[in-house]
Amino acid sequence: MVTFANTTSPTPFGSFDSDSVFQTEADNMVTFVKRMLGDDVLSVELTKKEVWACFENSVFEFSSMVNQYQTISQITNFLGVATGTLSGSEQRYPRETLEFLQRQAEPYAHYAGLGGAYDSVSGSITLENGRQDYNLYTELKNTAGDHLSGSAFAAGGRMRIGEIFHFSPQAAYRFFDSTSAVNYLNNEFGFESFTPETIFYVLPVFEDILRAGQMNISQRVRRSNYSYQVVGRNLRIFPTPSGGNAGTKKLWVRVFKTPDPLSPDVPDNTTYGVSNISNIPFGNLIYSRLNDISKQWIRQYTLSQCKEVLGRIRGKYQTIPVPGNDITLDGDTLLEHGRSDQEKLKTEFKEMLESLTYDKIVERDADKSENMLRQLRQVPMPNGWAIWLA
């Protein structure tokens, strides 16, 4: 008897041929398919290798669909990691990370001067008496006195102004001092909750940061007499520089270059990592690790594919002559049934997979928690429990 294990190249791709469970199942599939298609009454024109090919393709289809929906749930945690051999991560449950969100927020931090993956450079322009317009690309110099236009920094093209240092960049924290004259006056006039060096309010750190930012903006808008405007390649200064120190006074500018998303200034190997569904490290599922739910779907899908193959074979010969009559073959019917069965199996499986993505599981558990709490509120409980459920 010819079995799967002692057959040379039993399946077209051989992806599961070394799996002993797959080997046993493949031999059983031949018997299953032929009996389901009436082989005991009328010979089924399918070879073992045709059944095994359908069986292998069914596992491929099952594996691909599972991996697609796992990708929907997990891709934000895999983006940027090494692609490796594109196999080995398909049956793992990864830890959640915020790397994707941090990477999305990084450009905003960069332009705010709080980090990022690209460098910024400070340079100066020597002001001239009565001159308002200065060319950023030819007159901006670094601390060594070299023009930035000839540096590697400017080779990337356009430069963007990040900050003009025409006033002190530091916030006036003296206004936060508990011993300031404001507190003394408030104490003298009897204003409530203001006494020097005795009452302090512990506030979140972010509130100090926001207040400092507010005071910086106030210094820029309300107190500064200086402003600027970028016109093409030129920086226009307001008001027009004047005075005896023109020609020696410098205006300092912080500039950013045009970012290259594939070659950031900070070394980053994640740019070569996972970027989309095509290189996420998901390979074929291991057949011996599949549960009965998975195997039963594969069996039914294999049967439907065998129907389609048999329908194509019988479709080549519409009738077979026999003594006294002709036998009409059911090739068209088998084709229709095979295709419709495959579509039905895939549709039902997709619906189940869609309901099991991580975001849908979270929604369902939240609804379950709300419904449970609604039921518990109807149960008589001691006062302490009632407060906990309120």
In order along its 390 residues, the chain shows pLDDT tens digits of 789 999 999 999 999 999 999 999 999 999 999 999 998 887 899 999 999 999 999 999 999 999 999 999 999 999 999 887 778 888 899 999 999 999 999 988 888 777 888 888 888 888 888 888 998 888 888 877 777 765 656 555 677 888 887 655 444 444 444 455 555 555 566 555 544 455 555 667 777 788 877 877 777 666 666 778 888 888 888 888 876 655 668 888 888 888 888 888 888 999 999 999 999 999 999 999 999 999 999 999 999 999 999 999 888 877 666 666 766 678 889 999 999 999 999 999 999 999 999 999 999 999 999 999 888 888 876 665 555 555
Alpha-carbon gap, residue 286 to 251, rounded angstroms: 66
Place of tokens 């005071």: 215
CA 289 vs. chain centroid, Å, equals 28
Six-digit token string for 128: 């001239």
Amino acid at 6: N
Place of tokens 């490796």: 84
Alpha-carbon gap, residue 162 to 129, rounded angstroms: 25
Annotated domain spans of the chain: 20-93+283-374, 116-263
**Residue 252, beta-bridge partner list:** 124, 165
Indicate the pTM of the whole model. Answer: 0.75
Alpha-carbon gap, residue 251 to 163, rounded angstroms: 11
